[in-house]
Amino acid sequence: MAKIIVFTDLHILPEEKRIIGLNPSERLAAGIAHATKHHPDADRIVCTGDLTHRGDADSYQRLSAILDKTHIPVSLLIGNHDSRETFIDCFPDAPLDANGYVQSSLDVGGWRLVLLDTLNAPPYEFPETYCGFLCEARLAWLQDELRGAGDRPVLLFLHHPPHDIGFPGMDVIKLKNGPALYDLIGRFDCVKHLVAGHVHRTISGSHRGIPFSIFKSPCHQMPMNMDSLDVSLSVDEPAAYGILLTTPTGVIAHSEDYEIAVADVGTSHEALGVGADVA
């Protein structure tokens, strides 16, 4: 059994810069402190991309300083707001695949975590700039990792959802070759769950028989607007991170709204006189 904390879409900015009035560094730091306090037994923190808002070195260094505050080991993915080159400069120890993509695998609690690089670079015109893409080289690497998983079930992490999620604006900028990804993982039996970011909203479901989870950002969130094509809609809702618990037979996904959570002060039903068997 493993416990994995998921932070996504951190959007760190240089000092004093804000997004819809929110300070991404302060909000991430509060989330990391919360997760470290309440889940010191976590095996790993995985950050599923958009680590920074503009892909600049200053922001990556600010991120590094925030992550240094936790003892929990951290794995980092990149998203469409990141710069692969600047990320690698600022995190020289980050594992890369043989082609220099920010892709890696690690085995935790009997599971294999496979982390993908879906950044579609160099910059193109919108919407290509914001779309995700997995080139042949990255898909070939994934195939090798799935072959090498052996009996281990696989948790697949990537920034861009590889299918529509019901927000028209975000569906325009999803992973643009999602079917190629699903064709590949469909040839294996080992991928049990997929975790993405990009949307800034808590979403779950399944696609082609594989369950997925998407979590909110520690900073700005996607409003519940299923009509707009605007890809930059943002709202100040409580920040969140995900908690994945692997079991011998599957994955449990929780979302912790850490800014409004009151985990230490629950009231029992017995104390209210309504019986302890009421959930």
Cβ proximity to Fe ion, 105 vs 221, nearer residue? 221
DSSP-assigned letter for residue 19: B
Q: Please, what is the minimum distance in Å from the beta carbon of residue 10 to Fe ion?
A: 8
Q: Please, what is the minimum distance in Å from the beta carbon of residue 23 to Fe ion?
A: 16
Cβ proximity to Fe ion, 37 vs 126, nearer residue? 126
Cβ proximity to Fe ion, 75 vs 80, nearer residue? 80
Helix (H), strand (E) at residue 113? strand 111-115
Q: Is 9 in the site for Fe ion (CB under 5 A)?
A: yes
- Dihedral, CA atoms, 228, 178, 207, 258, nearest 10 degrees? -60
State how far the Cα of 36 lies from the Cα of 160, in Å rounded to an integer. Answer: 26
Site string for Fe ion, 118-137 (x = CB under 5 A): --------------------
Can you say how many angstroms the Cα of residue 101 is from the centroid of all Cα atoms in its chain? 17
Q: How many residues does the chain have?
A: 279
Q: Please, what is the minimum distance in Å from the beta carbon of residue 197 to Fe ion?
A: 6
SS3 (DSSP) at 61: helix
Q: Please, what is the minimum distance in Å from the beta carbon of residue 264 to Fe ion?
A: 31
Cβ proximity to Fe ion, 173 vs 190, nearer residue? 173
Cβ proximity to Fe ion, 9 vs 97, nearer residue? 9
Q: Please, what is the minimum distance in Å from the beta carbon of residue 145 to Fe ion?
A: 25
Q: Tell me, what amino acid is at 64? A: S
Q: How far is CA 81 from CA 36, 66, 76, 258, in A?
A: 26, 19, 14, 24
Q: Please, what is the minimum distance in Å from the beta carbon of residue 28 to Fe ion?
A: 13
Site string for Fe ion, 236-265 (x = CB under 5 A): ------------------------------
Q: Is 50 in the site for Fe ion (CB under 5 A)?
A: yes
State how far the Cα of 209 lies from the Cα of 190, in Å rounded to an integer. Answer: 12
User: For the chain, first and last CA: distance in Å?
Assistant: 25
State how far the Cα of 11 lies from the Cα of 25, in Å rounded to an integer. Answer: 8
44-52, 92-100, 221-229, 235-243 -> range binding Fe ion (CB under 5 A): 44-52
Cβ proximity to Fe ion, 50 vs 145, nearer residue? 50
Cβ proximity to Fe ion, 50 vs 97, nearer residue? 50
Q: Is 82 in the site for Fe ion (CB under 5 A)?
A: no
What sign does the CA torsion over 114, 115, 121, 127 have? Answer: positive
Q: Please, what is the minimum distance in Å from the beta carbon of residue 217 to Fe ion?
A: 6
49-57, 96-104, 107-115, 153-161 -> range binding Fe ion (CB under 5 A): 49-57
**Main-chain dihedrals φ then ψ at residue 112, nearest 5 degrees:** -105, 125
Q: Are the beta carbons of 119 and 79 closer than 8 angstroms? A: yes
**Binding residues vs Fe ion (CB under 5 A):** 9, 50
